[in-house]
Amino acid sequence: MTRTLVVVGHGMVGHRLVETLRERDATDAWQIVVLAEEPRPAYDRVALSSYLDGKSAADLSLTSHELLDDPMVELRLNTAVTAIDPTARRVSTSDGLDVAYDALVLATGSRPFVPPVPGHDLDGCFVYRTIEDLDAIRAAAVEGRPGVVIGGGLLGLEAANALRLLGMRAHVVEMAPRLMPLQIDEGGGQVLSRLVGDLGLTIHCGAATKSVDGDEHVRSITLADGTVIDTDVVVFSAGVRPRDELAELAGLRRAERGGFLVDDNCRTSAENIWAIGECAAVQGRCYGLVAPGYSMAEGVAEQLLEISDGTFPGADLSTKLKLLGVDVASFGDAHGQTEGALEVVYANNAAGTYAKLVLSDDARVLLGGVLVGDASAYAVLRPLIGRELPAPPEQLLLPAGSGVDSGALPADAAVCSCNNVSKGDITAAINEQGLTDVPGIKGCTKAGTSCGSCVPMLKNLLAECGVRTSKALCEHFPQSRSELFEIIRATGVGSFSELIGKHGSGRGCDICKPAVASILASLGSGHILDGEQAGLQDTNDRFLANMQRNGTYSVVPRVPGGEITPEKLIALGEVAKEFGLYTKITGGQRIDLFGARVEQLPLIWQRLVDAGFESGHAYGKALRTVKSCVGNDWCRYGVQDSVSMAIRLELRYRGLRAPHKVKAGVSGCARECAEARGKDFGVIATDKGWNLYVGGNGGFTPRHAELLAADLDDDQLIRLVDRFLMFYVRTADRLQRTAAWLEAMDGGLDHLREVIVEDSLGIAAELEAAMQRHVDGYTDEWAGVLADPGKLARFVSFVNAPDAPDPTIRFVQERGQIRPGPVVLPMPVVANQEVRT
Amino acid sequence: MNWQQICGIDLLPREYGVPVLVQDHPVALFRTHDDQLFAVGNVDPFCGAGVISRGIVGDRSGEPTVASPMLKQVFSLRTGQCLDDPNARLPVYPVRRRADVVEVAVP
Ligand code: SRM
Ligand SMILES: Cc1cc2nc3c(=O)[nH]c(=O)nc-3n(C[C@H](O)[C@H](O)[C@H](O)COP(=O)(O)OP(=O)(O)OC[C@H]3O[C@@H](n4cnc5c(N)ncnc54)[C@H](O)[C@@H]3O)c2cc1C
Ligand code: SF4
Ligand code: FES
C-alpha cells in the first residue's frame, strides 16, 4: 500500500531525503509531496557565493530531470506550510492547500538573524541566504563605493567577498575580537585578518553596531565607539536561527535555543513527524553545516523504509574552506576545551601561515586544530582526530602526503568527511572493484566528490593498496612526460639520442619519440623537421598535414578566428580546383582540403603561402583554432570585440606544441555563440572585460570549462592565458587534454588558480617569459619547408621514382567531389625470409 | 638473387624510412641507428594504404620495429611480423648496401 510522505522545505537537506528515498524505495512504498517555499527547486546553498562569480542558478541546481519527472514525487514550489494538525495528520499551506500525510518531515532550515539595531530595515539592508538575496544585493551594489557586512564569521567573510566581486570596497564588522570566532582561535584570527586585509577588506573587530543610518535608504552605519562608516549596502550575517515557527501551532516541543527538539532518530515530540537539517535540534543541539543534515536525511529515509533505525551518528564539525584565496581549516576540538588539552602552535609570520594542534594531556592523541594560510595538512590530520599521533606534531603539519603515510590511519577513520566515507570503505572498494585511480574511487564511493580536500589522501590509499600508477612513459623511459620536460629544460639536452642515451634505454618507439619531439618543440628547438627530429615526428607532423584513410593528406591553412577575406576564400577554391581536392568546412571555423598526395603537398602549399596563408597546425598536438563569434562589430548583443581578441590569441599561440591539441573560443557576450566553454580555454565578454574559463572540451568526454578569473582587461587576459598554457605544457601527461589534466590535479581548480592567478609557486614570470620566447621565435613551418631543399626532398611518392603516383591510391566521385575509392591490396607475394645485409 | 639498385644511401637517413618502388612493388626501406638496412612491404595490411615507410622506427625489447602511422600497429623490421596481431605480417625483402648504393632483391 502506498503511503504519503510530506516534506516541508526543498532545501539541501530536504532534497537529500527525497533523493535517498527514491534511490532506495524499490517498491514505491512512499508517494512524496514536497512543499517548498522558495520559487525554485533545491540548489547548492553551500556554493551560493559562486553565483556572483560566474555560476548561474542552473549551475547551482541540485535537482535532476529524472527527479522532476518522477511520478512518485510531487514538488510544489512557492508553497509555504502555514499549519500542522498532528492529530488529523494534515498540513495546510499558504495557497490554501490541505494535504494529508502518513509521515511528515520538517526540513525548513534556518533564517539569517538580523540584530534589532535601529535602521536594520532600511532600503539597502540585506541578508545572505538565497539566490533572491544575491540578486537583490547585485542590483543594489555600486561599484567603487563602500559596502558593510555585519558579522565576521564564515558567512560574513563570504558575503564580504561577494561585495568585493561586485566591485565594492568591503568592510567587515565583527563583535568578537577576531574573525571567525567560532572556528578559529586568537592566533589564527590575527593571521587571517592580516591576509584578508592585504586583499583590500577593511576589518573592524571587537566592534558592535549601534545603528544603521539613513532616511529611506542606508547612508552609513555607526559603531558603538562612534566610528561612522559611509555605505550604500549593509549585509547582515550575524548568525542564523532555526525556522521552527510551525512548532507552536502544532504543539511540537522546541529546544531551549530554538529548533524542533528531536531525539537521536530525528523524531519530534509528535508521532510520525521528523525534523532534519538546520531546523532540527538533535538532543537540543542545532547544526549549521550541511553534512550533519545529510546524515539526518539518510537516517530518516532508512527509518521510513524500515532498513535501519537511522540513528544520527553525531557530527563532525570540521571545516576547510578557502575565503578570498586564504585557506582556513578548523577541526575537532579547535579551541582546546578538553580537560588538560595541550596546544602546539606553529606560526610563520613571513609566510602568513598559522597552525595549531590540540593534543591530549599526554601529547599523544590528536584532539583538533586550526590551520590558516596553508591548510594542506588538513586531509591527513582530520581523520586522525581522537587517535594516537603517528609522527611528531611538526611533521604532521607538512603538506598532505609528505608528513604521514595513510598506513597510520585505522580502517574506521573517516577519510572523506563530506560524504562520510571511511578508510576501510575506500580500501575495500579499491581491492574489490580493482580501482586504479582517483576518478574510479569517486565513482564507486562518492569520496572526494564534494570539497575535494581528501583527494591527496585517496592517492595515498591507492598506493597503500599496491596500485602502482606507473608514470613511465613507455618501455624506453621510466619517467613521466612532465619529468622528461623538466630534465630537458634543466639540462639543455638537445636531441632524442642524447636523452635516451642518458636517461632511457633502447631506441625509442612511437610513444616516446613524438612526446620528446613535442617537448623539444615546446622549448623552441628550431624547425620540427630539422635533422634527427624529423624521424621522431608522427606522420602528420612529418608531412605537416593530416593523413587520411587511404594514405593521402588533408591540408588546413590557418584562418585566425574564422575571419577570412573573399580573396582568400577564392584562393582556397582555386587551389582545391587545380589539385582536384575535396573541400569541407571544418568544425573549427576553417576549410579543409582533402586528398592531397605526398608529392603534391609542397606544390599546394607554395600556392597557399603565396596567397598569404600559413600552416594551421591541424596536424600537430598544438594550438588548433580560436573560434570566435562575430562580436560587437556586428552583433546587436555583443559587448566586446570577440573577433579581434580571437585573432590576437590565435596569432599569439599559433605553433605552440603541447601535450595534446589545444582549442579556444571567444564569445562577444554571455549568449556564447563561439561555444568557448567547450574549449581548453574560453573567453567570454562581460561589460567590464573578459571572463576566462579553462579546462573544457568536446570529444569523448565533453566537459565545460570553469571560470578561472573574471572581468579581465585585454592584457590581464593574455597574461593569464600565457601562464595557463605554459603550465599545462610543462606539467601535463602525454595526450592529456587540459580537462583531464585539471581533473587529475591535486587541489583542482583552486590550486590552478593559486598558481596561475596568485602565483603561489613564484613561477608566473618564468611562464610568461617562456611564452614570450615562443611568440618571438614563431615562424611558419610550411614556409620553412618550402625554403629548404633538404626538407622538400622528403615529399616524394617513391625516392627512386619521385613522380610515380602511389598505385594504392584511388578515388571515386560523390556529390561532385572525390572520396577514397575501395581499397585494393597490391601486396606482392614473397617468401618470408630473414633479411641479412 | 635478382638484386636491383634502388637509391643512394644518402637518401636514407638513420632511424627513418623511405618509400621505394621495386618492379612496381611499393617497398619501405629503413636504416636503423647501427646502419642495418631493412626492406618490408609499404602497404599496411590493416588498411591497404601505402604508408609503412612513414611510420616511426624504434624497438620493442630490442627487436627493431616500425609502427604503422595509420592505426599504430607495430611490426618487426626483421621478420615483418606484426607484434600486436599474430595474423598480420608484412612481406620482407633481402636488402644490402654496395658502396653507396642500396640494393633490394625481388623473387
Ligand atoms: C576536420 C575535422 C572534422 C570536420 O570536418 O569538421 C576533424 C577531424 C579530425 N579530428 Fe577532430 N576534427 C575537427 C574538429 C573537432 C572538434 C570540433 C571543434 O574543434 O570545435 C572536436 C570536439 C572538440 C574538442 O576537441 O574538444 C574534435 C574532437 C576530436 C577528437 C577527440 C578529442 C578529445 O579530447 O576527446 C579527436 C581524437 C584525438 O585527438 O585524440 C579528433 C581527431 C581528429 C582527426 C585528427 C582524427 C585523425 O587522427 O585522423 C581528424 C583528422 C583531421 C583531418 O584530417 O584534417 N577530433 N574534432 C575538424 C577540424 C577542425 C579544425 O579546423 O582544425
Ligand atoms: C552563503 C552560505 C555558505 C554556506 N557554506 C557552507 C559550507 O561551506 N559548509 C557547510 O556545511 N554549510 C554551509 N552553509 C550552510 C548550508 O547551506 C546549510 O547547512 C544547508 O543548506 C542546510 O540545509 P537545510 O535543508 O536544512 O536548509 P535550507 O537549505 O535553508 O532549506 C530549507 C528550505 O525550507 C524552506 N522553508 C522554510 N520554511 C518553510 C515552510 N514553512 N514551508 C515550506 N518551505 C519552507 C526554505 O525556504 C528553504 O528553501 C552555507 C550557507 C550559506 C547561506
Ligand atoms: S556570443 Fe553574443 S556577441 Fe557573440 S554573436 Fe552571440 S549574441 Fe552576438
Ligand atoms: S572531505 Fe570533502 S569531498 Fe571528501
CA of A630 to the centre of ligand 3 (A): 6
Closest Cα in chain B to A790: B11
Q: What's the confidence (pLDDT) of residue A349?
A: 72
Of A475, A808, A829, the CB nearest to B43: A808
Closest Cα in chain A to B73: A510
Q: What's the confidence (pLDDT) of residue A835?
A: 32
Cell of A584: 569541407
What residue owns the CA closest to ligand 3's atom 6? A673
- Report the predicted TM-score, pTM, of the whole model to 2 decimal places: 0.60
| Pocket mutation for ligand 3, best pick of A589, A637, A640 (most atoms within 8 Å of C-beta) | A637
Q: Which residues of chain B neighbour A798 with C-beta distances below 8 Å?
A: 19-21, 26
Give the confidence band of A451 by pLDDT, cuts at 50, 70, 90.
low
Q: What's the confidence (pLDDT) of residue A823?
A: 63
A653 and A623 Cβ atoms separated by less than 8 Å: yes
- The lowest-confidence range among A163-167, A411-415, A605-609 is A411-415
Q: Given CB atoms, is B104 within the 8 Å cutoff of chain A?
A: no
Mean pLDDT within A14-28 = 94
Residue A191 or residue A673, greater confidence: A673
| Dihedral sign computed on CA atoms, order A57, A60, A61, A64 | positive
Q: What's the confidence (pLDDT) of residue A406?
A: 67
Query: How far apart are the C-alpha atoms of A352 and A372, rounded to whole Å?
Result: 8
Q: Count residue pairs from A and B with Cβ separation < 8 A.
A: 151
Q: How far is CA A640 from CA A166, A454, A629, in A?
A: 20, 41, 11
| Pocket mutation for ligand 1, best pick of A510, A542, A543, A546 (most atoms within 8 Å of C-beta) | A546
Highest mean pLDDT among A136-145, A190-199, A358-367, A389-398: A136-145
A703 and A696 Cβ atoms separated by less than 8 Å: yes
Mean pLDDT within A368-396 = 81
Q: Given CB atoms, is B83 within the 8 Å cutoff of chain A?
A: no
Mean pLDDT within A326-353 = 82
Closest Cα in chain B to A497: B33
Contacts of A536 (CB under 8 A, 6+ apart): A496, A508, A513, A514, A516, A517, A520, B56
Q: What's the confidence (pLDDT) of residue A404?
A: 53
Contacts of A421 (CB under 8 A, 6+ apart): A414, A415, A445, A446, A447
Q: Which atom of ligand 4 is nearest to the CA of A455?
A: 4
Q: Do B60 and A475 touch (CB under 8 A)?
A: yes
Interface test mutation site (partner A, options B1, B43, B84, max chain A beta carbons within 10 A)? B43
- The lowest-confidence range among A2-6, A393-397, A420-424 is A393-397
Q: Over the stretch A560-600, which tens digit does the pLDDT of each residue have?
A: 999 999 999 999 999 999 999 999 999 999 999 999 999 99
**Model ipTM value:** 0.74
Percent of chain A with pLDDT over 90: 63
Of B14, B62, B91, the CB nearest to A830: B91
Q: Over the stretch B70-88, which tens digit does the pLDDT of each residue have?
A: 988 999 999 999 998 888 8
Q: Which residues of chain B neighbour A835 with C-beta distances below 8 Å?
A: 38-39, 78, 92-95
| Pocket mutation for ligand 4, best pick of A441, A450, A460, A461 (most atoms within 8 Å of C-beta) | A450
pLDDT tops 60 at residue A383: yes
To the nearest whole number, what is the mean pLDDT of chain B?
92
pLDDT tops 80 at residue A108: yes
Cβ of A452 below 6 Å from ligand 4 = yes
A568 and A560 Cβ atoms separated by less than 8 Å: no
A725 and A714 Cβ atoms separated by less than 8 Å: no
Highest mean pLDDT among A103-112, A472-481, B22-31: A103-112
Q: How open is the CA angle A631-A636-A641, to the nearest 5 degrees?
A: 20
Q: Which residues of chain A neighbour B86 with C-beta distances below 8 Å?
A: none
Q: Given CB atoms, is B82 within the 8 Å cutoff of chain A?
A: no
A265 and A311 Cβ atoms separated by less than 8 Å: yes
Provide the 3-class DSSP secondary structure of residue A41: coil
Give the confidence band of A614 by pLDDT, cuts at 50, 70, 90.
very high
Transcribe A67-105 into DSSP letters: HHH-TTEEEETT--EEEEETTTTEEEETTS-EEE-SEEE
pLDDT tops 90 at residue A46: no
Q: Distance, in angstroms, between A519 CA and closest chain B CA?
A: 17
Q: Given CB atoms, is B63 within the 8 Å cutoff of chain A?
A: no
Q: What's the confidence (pLDDT) of residue A603?
A: 97
Mean pLDDT within A415-432 = 86
Of B36, B49, B57, the CB nearest to A808: B49
Q: Given CB atoms, is B4 within the 8 Å cutoff of chain A?
A: no
Q: Given CB atoms, is B2 within the 8 Å cutoff of chain A?
A: no
Residue A468 or residue B57, greater confidence: B57
pLDDT tops 50 at residue A833: no
Query: How far apart are the C-alpha atoms of B40 and A64, rounded to whole Å?
Result: 58
Q: Do A830 and B62 touch (CB under 8 A)?
A: no
Q: What's the confidence (pLDDT) of residue A824?
A: 58
Q: Given CB atoms, is B102 within the 8 Å cutoff of chain A?
A: no
Q: What's the confidence (pLDDT) of residue A338?
A: 84
Q: What's the confidence (pLDDT) of residue A499?
A: 95
CB crowding A802-818: b at 16 or more within 10 Å, else e: eeeebebbeeeeeeeeb
Radius of gyration (C-alpha) of chain B in whole angstroms: 13
Cell of A489: 629544460
Give the confidence band of A830 by pLDDT, cuts at 50, 70, 90.
very low
Mean pLDDT within A797-814 = 90
Q: Given CB atoms, is A826 within the 8 Å cutoff of chain B?
A: yes
CA of A445 to the centre of ligand 2 (A): 25
Cβ of A321 below 6 Å from ligand 2 = yes
B29 and B82 Cβ atoms separated by less than 8 Å: no
Mean pLDDT within A428-437 = 87
Q: Which atom of ligand 3 is nearest to the CA of A631?
A: 3
Q: Given CB atoms, is B50 within the 8 Å cutoff of chain A?
A: yes
Query: How far apart are the C-alpha atoms of A658 and A666, rounded to whole Å?
Result: 20
To the nearest whole number, what is the mean pLDDT of chain A?
90
Q: What's the confidence (pLDDT) of residue A469?
A: 66
Q: Which residues of chain A neighbour B47 with C-beta distances below 8 Å?
A: 549-550, 823
3-state SS string over A315-373? CCCCEEEEECCEEEEEEECCCCCCCCCEEEEEEECCCCEEEEEEECCCCCEEEEEEEEC
Q: Over the stretch A493-548, which tens digit does the pLDDT of each residue have?
A: 889 999 999 999 999 999 999 999 999 999 887 899 988 889 999 999 999 999 99
Mean pLDDT within B39-62 = 93
3-state SS string over A714-756? HHHHHHHHHHHHHHHHHHCCCCCCHHHHHHHCCCHHHHHHHHH
pLDDT tops 50 at residue A834: no
